[in-house]
Amino acid sequence: MRSSPVVLEILAHRFAAVVEEMAENIRRTSFSIFVKQTADFGTCLVTPDGEVFAAPRRISGNLMIGVPAKAVIESLAPYAPGDIGLSNDPDATGGLVTHLPDLWAWQPLFIDGEIIAYALSFVHSSDIGGSVPSSIDWGHTDMHQEGLLIPPVRMLTAGERNQAVFDLVARNSRVPSQNLGDLEAQVAGLRTAQRRLSEIAESYGKSAVEDAIADLIDTASFKASALLDTLTPGSYEFVDYVEGIERLEADGSRVTEVPPTRLALRLTVGEGRAHLDFDGTSPQVLEAINLHTGGEPGHYMLAFALVNWFYSQDQQIPYNSGLVRPLTANLPAGSILNPRPGAPCGVRAAVFFRIMDCVVGCLAQASDRAMAPGAGLVAIASIAHVDLASGERKVSVGQPLTGGSGGRPGQPGISGTSYMGGWLRNVPNEVLESDVPVLVEEYKYRRGSGGSGSQPGGDGLVVQIRSLEDDVTFVVRGLERLFYQPFGVAGGGPGAPGIATLNPGTPGERNLGRVGSITLKAGDVLRVETPGGGGLGSGAGGFDFGEARESYDRRFPQPLQNQLVHAVLGQVPSARQAAVYRALYLRIDRAAGDGVVTQAVLDEALEAAGLDAARVSGEMPVADPAPDKAHPPGETRGEAAKVEAPGRTGTAPSIGGTA
Amino acid sequence: MSARYRLGVDVGGTFTDIVLADASTGELRTDKVPSDAGQPARAVIAGVTKMLAVSGVEPGQIEYFSHGQTFALNTLLQRTGARVGLLVTRGFPDLLSIGRLRLSDPIDYFTGPRRPLVDPTDVREITERLRADGSLVTPIDPDQVREAVAALVADGVEAVAVAFLHSHRFGHHEAQVADIIAEALPGLPVACSSRLWPEEKEYERATVAVLAAHVGRALGDYLQYLSSELRALGLDCPMHITKSNGGVTSIDSHPREFLRTAVETLLSGPASGVAGTMRVAATAGVDQFITMDMGGTSVDCAIVDGRIPYSTESEIGEFPLIIPSVEVSSIGAGGGSVIRVDETGVLKVGPRSAGAHPGPSCYGRGGTEPTLTDAYVVCGYIDPADFASGAVTIDTDRARTALEPLAVKLGLTVEALAEAAVAVATAMMHSQLIPLCAQHGVDPAGMTLIAYGGAGPVQAALLAAALKMPEVLIPNSPGTLCAYGALATDMRVDLVSPVGGTVTDAELADGWDDLQRRAEQWYAQQDHRLHPDVRITRWADVQLSGQSFTLPITLSEDDISVKALREAFTGAYLKAYAVDPGDADLDVRCLRLTLAASAFLPEPVFAGGRSISGTPHRVVEDGEPVAASIYRRPLLPIGAVMQGPAVIPAPDTSIFVPSGCTARVDQHGNLRITVSLGGSHA
């Protein structure tokens, strides 16, 4: 360690003060409802190499550990003091930006004429243009539908405003003054960072600051490795899905319209490291759920579950990107976790949440203190109607629809919310009813929905709302786990799946699936029941996925799903992968009919598409998963996904615990 | 006529403080007696009896008694009050445990669930429903109410809270239920959310009712015992109790009012400290300051930007409190925080505290862990020979012994280790105060730090230097500031009335007139002989239509109009968001009114002592013992100037003046420390 054990602790507190002050300044002065209600903003300090060394713990949505900052730092180099960069471009920022409403800003922090760190911040702005208000829609098929793209630009040059940048952003938003307010808030926050870091360097000296930065990251890395070493060394596999869409035919049969999106993780732990191999994960998809990671192995949206796991066991652990240093990853190019430039991405949270569950599923196999997953969704309902008196369209503030958390060692799951949306606040029902013409008939726990077990999962919520007028539109985004239940762990039972029902208990009762948008007449009732958390059993028994998932696994065996993914990613030109994958899947699904997908069915479909079925197995380029051969951090970080190791002949991933 | 006196009393965890003020001269006498955890009133009686005897004052000469207590708060925190049953609108049985959903720590997988004060089996859904506009959906079924309450009481419930949807505007269903219960079970305490605090937000309003039901009767019994004992002692004067809003209210009101008193006094302890500070600061000519009340486990801070900060989003333990309360935040470490070296070899202070029992090692009360107070002692910042008027004996050897292993581990001298621990504690306080200031939009540089509480004056100048605050003020009696605040503060009531939507000039005027009538009615019921000077403040929670965050807007009396409201809102909005709201519709969520009546009390005359001669002492700075001086505070005359490094023991605290800082005694007896802002810590 370079620092004195005293100065290190002092500077750790001082750095924390800088990022928290930035965050409080943004929270106080920003306009965005996402900041005020859902804390969807963030601040951090990073090293010149782009590693986060300080981030707030309790203020914002806490998605800062593993933020890849190197690309934006390089994008505008060289810098002058007072430069502030701006971008919302996922492709140009190497995975820093994951969807367009997040406006990221950064500033070099100079001490004695030399850059010793960068301050970063982002705000989820209310609207950045594009085809729909708020800029986010599942149905977007092209990033250009999602709004204005801002490649890295200077919004301030040496402290001087580039007014054209502000004007350009404002002109391309439906809420220009809000966006300007959000940008100003970030500028103010970043300037604070420079002032405070200068004060710190004045008191303690530049070299002490640099030493402390390095030591804090090293300490986090060291402690994270030690925690990884508490896991049983080995490889653990888990597959989960973002649900697809099925159409119910008149004869009662179901026809797949959108395939489920397969997320496959093989987590290998040992020797203080963890390798996240996403081989077998779906090619990028046509819907706007692609997750731009820039191929970064410690990307914040991949590492979140592990970072929280570290923090949960040691709340004193330095909260910085040292926590992701022990991580390497294989993120197959063209997969939904490392998509091509231009892949639509507004609702990438759906994939992010499911990856958390994949990690929880792997940890459950590797740890003797297993935990069950939560309900796995963060849905938001907002209600719009036309005010009869004024003729104006009014939209209520979004009501979060979250489900229970999973059972934990020594504790049952929490009801009504989980770690995925744990920072969300609900809207008081009194406020909702005075804003829009509805009557909330029930708002309570969904009793019995948590998975069974010695530590049962938390219950979901029941929200039942009656419309009091015609033409009241509900927009519900983010409902998930409507088929595939939050799984039970170690003998625990699965949480109940979610369900949204129109006019329950009447002849017109109808299952609304994901809902999306639905317009109600006076007297219509919408009932949403969110999933319960998975149950944690007493140790005997593996995972319990529930009937829907188990029958899907029987219908389309995992090894065949894996072959399909490999065939598309390995043989189809990258620009066509999403469409070909979709078409192939639907063809296979139809061909299987009431039966199951067999090797013959798969091969026939692949051949018809001009793909070579024989080439599929074992030929998929993957990175070497062995941790001992992983490259040391600093050298190849960000490149792991591009490394093509020699073909590995191994068993196809199967579902952990049932294998 | 013989001289008249006023008494202020504050019950703390360790000591009960008594302040006696001469009503005509303002001269103060202070004393401390040990608190009595079993029956706090006994210590109050003992302290008052002793004070009267020592001062030679007859009980009949006392014209005013004011009292701050932690009885209600402790009852709540220990959950030892009444078992409460809750009646809610059908469809909302989990109102208390769902709360506002947000987890206390969303990234901790082991976060515990909310633990409501009402057991889930003690909640009853009542068949009733009103819409937001007050129209009836489902009437109350009196039989169902009677059955529900009878079953609760049969099961052991001791008090009932009632919280129905929209009762803040339309309270008749709650009132009807209260009547039904009063008829069926007279004597059962019933707390209606609409009567106690009619503000929208069903969870927070229900919480007000539940807290009142839980604590009300216990507090009532305590206050009745206390006042009858004081009467028996011969006191025949108005008796008051301090509230969370920093003001006072009369004790001798109707027992039904104890429910209200209970929720209004929960945060009164820190509030009366801030109220006392306000008065000290006003006489000292300081109006931008941060208060620092440092105890055993934490530092309580309030940021005062010209006026007392109020919050309508306070928290008590796990519960939200929306009744306006003086905004006080707990930060950093306290004197009992344990010092340790973690497994990576880094020096840490806290988060654990040795608390009051066993306390720091140097107290010799059985504690062996090294604490921040032990570090102060080893550094010489506390004079072991003169601490707390001898109430606690300081054993420097025990402090050294406790710190020694850590020093060995880090290869430092015990002195250097102790100073390093103090520096870490300073950095912790700094790192939490900076974001707090940012939250309020103020910069600590340029503000004064006013320190009190046992340990505050030891640590204050070090913290001020880290925050670049130019001045520290230590009040004349920093150890009894809460008791002084209790006797010197305003009589004050806050009222709220829901609105919801756009308003007209007439609605504004009528709404505030109605609140003013209610406030004046309250004032008339108070024993307000010594609080003649009434001020009214009209304010409102306003937001843009369709938004979900309100700003508090205050209007002056001479222009109550929508136009004035809009102008004030535009100003506040620009300040908060740097954006002009334009002519978008305003949505007024509630009107608020505050009535404050100030007491006339002369400023205390400070006579001062006659000696500024210091005795030699040593303190640790930059890792080395350096020569310093000790000055006895009670001996210091007005205008005395002392250069740091110096230690100034006082009967109720100890003050450390670091090198480069200068301390001066002002005409009111406050110690003003000018902080050196240069210098390096490297």
DSSP string spanning A555-616? HS-HHHHHHHHHHHHHHS-GGGHHHHHHHHHHHHHHHHTTS---HHHHHHHHHHTT--GGGT
Could you please report the per-residue DSSP string of B239-255? EEEE-TTS-EEESSS-T
Q: What's the CA dihedral at A618, A621, A625, A626 to 10 degrees?
A: 80
The domain boundary, picked from A166, A196, A219, lies at A219
User: How would residue B678 be classed by pLDDT, with cut points 50, 70 and 90?
Assistant: low
Within this chain, do residues A499 and A603 fall inside the same structural domain, yes or no?
no
Q: What average pLDDT does the segment A50-79 reach?
A: 91
Does domain B490-598 fall under CATH 3.40.50? My reply is no
Tell me the C-alpha distance between A521 and A470, whole Å: 4
pLDDT at A462 over 60: yes
User: Strands B5-11, B62-68: parallel, antiparallel or unpaired by DSSP?
Assistant: parallel
Whether residues B91 and A441 touch (CB distance < 8 A) is answered with yes
With pLDDT > 70 as the criterion, what percentage of chain B qualifies? 97
Chain A residue nearest residue B200, CA to CA? A430
pLDDT at A59 over 70: yes
pLDDT at A632 over 70: no
Lowest mean pLDDT among A28-37, A376-385, B231-240, B277-286: A28-37
Within this chain, do residues A492 and A577 fall inside the same structural domain, yes or no?
no
Q: Check residue A540 and give its pLDDT.
A: 76
Surface of A (608-647) touching B: CB under 8 A: none
Mean pLDDT of chain A: 90
Model pLDDT for residues B110-120, shown as the tens digit of each residue:
988 889 999 99
A164 is a domain residue: yes
User: How would residue B676 be classed by pLDDT, with cut points 50, 70 and 90?
Assistant: confident
With pLDDT > 90 as the criterion, what percentage of chain A qualifies? 75
pLDDT at B332 over 70: yes
Residue whose C-alpha is closest to residue B158's, from B93, B220, B74: B220
Tell me the C-alpha distance between A194 and A513, whole Å: 50
Within this chain, do residues A103 and A12 fall inside the same structural domain, yes or no?
yes
Whether residues A414 and B435 touch (CB distance < 8 A) is answered with no
Q: Which class does domain B1-68 fall in?
A: alpha beta
The domain boundary, picked from A219, A243, A273, lies at A219
Q: Check residue A341 and give its pLDDT.
A: 96
Compute the count of residue pairs across chains A and B with CB atoms less than 8 Å apart: 213
- Alpha-helix residue ranges (DSSP H) falling in B320-446: 372-379, 396-410, 414-440
pLDDT at A627 over 50: no
Prior bond to B309 cis, omega within 30? Answer: no
With pLDDT > 90 as the criterion, what percentage of chain B qualifies? 72
Q: Check residue A470 and give its pLDDT.
A: 95
Within this chain, do residues A191 and A66 fall inside the same structural domain, yes or no?
yes
Contact status, residue A44 vs residue A63, Cβ threshold 8 Å: no
Tell me the C-alpha distance between B543 and A511, whole Å: 37
Model pLDDT for residues A164-207, shown as the tens digit of each residue:
999 999 999 988 888 888 898 899 899 999 999 999 999 999 99
Q: Check residue A326 and give its pLDDT.
A: 98
Tell me the C-alpha distance between A273 and B55, whole Å: 73
Q: Which residue has the tokens 């944690």?
A: A536
Contact status, residue A416 vs residue A386, Cβ threshold 8 Å: no
User: How would residue B490 be classed by pLDDT, with cut points 50, 70 and 90?
Assistant: very high
Within this chain, do residues A609 and A518 fall inside the same structural domain, yes or no?
no
Whether residues B431 and A20 touch (CB distance < 8 A) is answered with yes
Q: Which pair of tokens denotes residue B166?
A: 């929209």
Question: Which of B346, B499, B585 is most worth mutating to test chain A (most A CB atoms within 10 A of its CB)?
Answer: B346
pLDDT at A646 over 80: no
Q: How many CB atoms lie within 10 A of CB B600?
A: 9
Q: Check residue A639 and give its pLDDT.
A: 34
Q: Which pair of tokens denotes residue B513?
A: 């007139």
A347 is a domain residue: no
Q: What Å distances lie between residue B478 and A299, B55, B97, B300, B481, CA to CA?
A: 52, 21, 41, 14, 5
pLDDT at A650 over 80: no
Q: What average pLDDT does the segment B74-86 reach?
A: 94
Q: Which residue has the higher pLDDT, B227 or B676?
A: B227
Q: Check residue B254 and give its pLDDT.
A: 66
Prior bond to A326 cis, omega within 30? Answer: no
Q: Which residue has the higher pLDDT, A254 or B169?
A: B169
Q: What Å distances lie between residue A358 and A265, A291, A375, A555, B649, CA to CA?
A: 6, 15, 13, 21, 61
Does any CB of chain B come closer than 8 Å to the CB of residue A58?
A: yes
Tell me the C-alpha distance between B396 and A659, whole Å: 65
Tell me the C-alpha distance between A510 and A521, whole Å: 15
Chain A residue nearest residue B579, CA to CA? A181
Tally the residues of chain B: 682
Q: Which amino acid is at B573?
A: Y
- Beta-sheet strand order (sheet of A261-270): A234-242, A261-270, A273-277, A327-330
Within this chain, do residues A469 and A611 fall inside the same structural domain, yes or no?
no
Lowest mean pLDDT among A309-323, A580-594, B433-447: B433-447
Q: Check residue B680 and give its pLDDT.
A: 44
Split into its structural domains, chain A has a count of 3
Within this chain, do residues A558 and A532 fall inside the same structural domain, yes or no?
no
A580 is a domain residue: yes
A88 is a domain residue: yes
Within this chain, do residues A206 and A60 fall inside the same structural domain, yes or no?
yes
User: How would residue A617 be classed by pLDDT, with cut points 50, 70 and 90?
Assistant: low
User: How would residue A408 be classed by pLDDT, with cut points 50, 70 and 90?
Assistant: very high
User: How would residue A643 be classed by pLDDT, with cut points 50, 70 and 90?
Assistant: very low
pLDDT at A370 over 90: no
Within this chain, do residues A479 and A569 fall inside the same structural domain, yes or no?
no
Buried b (16+ CB within 10 A) or exposed e, B569-582: bbebbeebbbbebe
Chain A residue nearest residue B500, CA to CA? A434
Q: Check residue B442 and give its pLDDT.
A: 85
Within this chain, do residues A568 and A531 fall inside the same structural domain, yes or no?
no
User: How would residue B253 be classed by pLDDT, with cut points 50, 70 and 90?
Assistant: low
Whether residues B102 and A425 touch (CB distance < 8 A) is answered with yes
The helix (H) or strand (E) run that includes residue B569 is helix B562-577
Helix (H, G, I), strand (E, B) or coil at A104: strand
pLDDT at B404 over 60: yes
Whether residues B441 and A28 touch (CB distance < 8 A) is answered with yes
The domain boundary, picked from A486, A509, A538, lies at A538
Within this chain, do residues A125 and A209 fall inside the same structural domain, yes or no?
yes
Q: What Å distances lie between residue B337 and B173, B371, B428, CA to CA?
A: 50, 5, 12
Q: Check residue A369 and give its pLDDT.
A: 86
Model pLDDT for residues B454-479, shown as the tens digit of each residue:
789 999 999 999 999 999 999 998 88
Lowest mean pLDDT among A485-489, A651-655, B249-253: A651-655
Chain B residue nearest residue A460, CA to CA? B98
Residue whose C-alpha is closest to residue B252's, from B241, B268, B267, B243: B241
Q: Check residue B577 and give its pLDDT.
A: 67
Tell me the C-alpha distance between A122 and A105, whole Å: 6
pLDDT at A652 over 70: no
Q: Which residue has the higher pLDDT, B90 or B351?
A: B90
DSSP E strand stretches across B239-323: 239-242, 248-250, 288-294, 299-305, 310-311, 314-316, 319-321
Does any CB of chain B come closer than 8 Å to the CB of residue A33?
A: yes
Q: What average pLDDT does the segment A127-132 reach?
A: 91
Domain boundaries, chain B: 1-68, 87-204, 337-424, 490-598
Q: Check residue B619 and give its pLDDT.
A: 97
| Structural domain boundaries enclosing A418 | 371-538
Q: What average pLDDT does the segment B167-192 reach?
A: 96
Buried b (16+ CB within 10 A) or exposed e, B411-421: ebbbbbbbbbb
Question: Which of B94, B97, B104, B109 is most worth mutating to test chain A (most A CB atoms within 10 A of its CB)?
Answer: B109
Model pLDDT for residues A507-527, shown as the tens digit of each residue:
999 999 988 889 999 999 999
Q: What average pLDDT does the segment A208-212 reach?
A: 97
Q: Which residues of chain B make contact with A400, given a CB cutoff of 8 A?
A: 101
Q: What average pLDDT does the segment B280-308 reach?
A: 92
pLDDT at A505 over 80: yes
Q: Check residue A60 and give its pLDDT.
A: 61
Q: Which residues of chain B make contact with A307, given a CB cutoff of 8 A?
A: 107
Torsions phi, psi of A463, nearest 5?
-125, 115
A407 is a domain residue: yes
Within this chain, do residues A557 and A446 fall inside the same structural domain, yes or no?
no
Q: Check residue A655 and give its pLDDT.
A: 31
ipTM for the whole complex? 0.90
A597 is a domain residue: yes
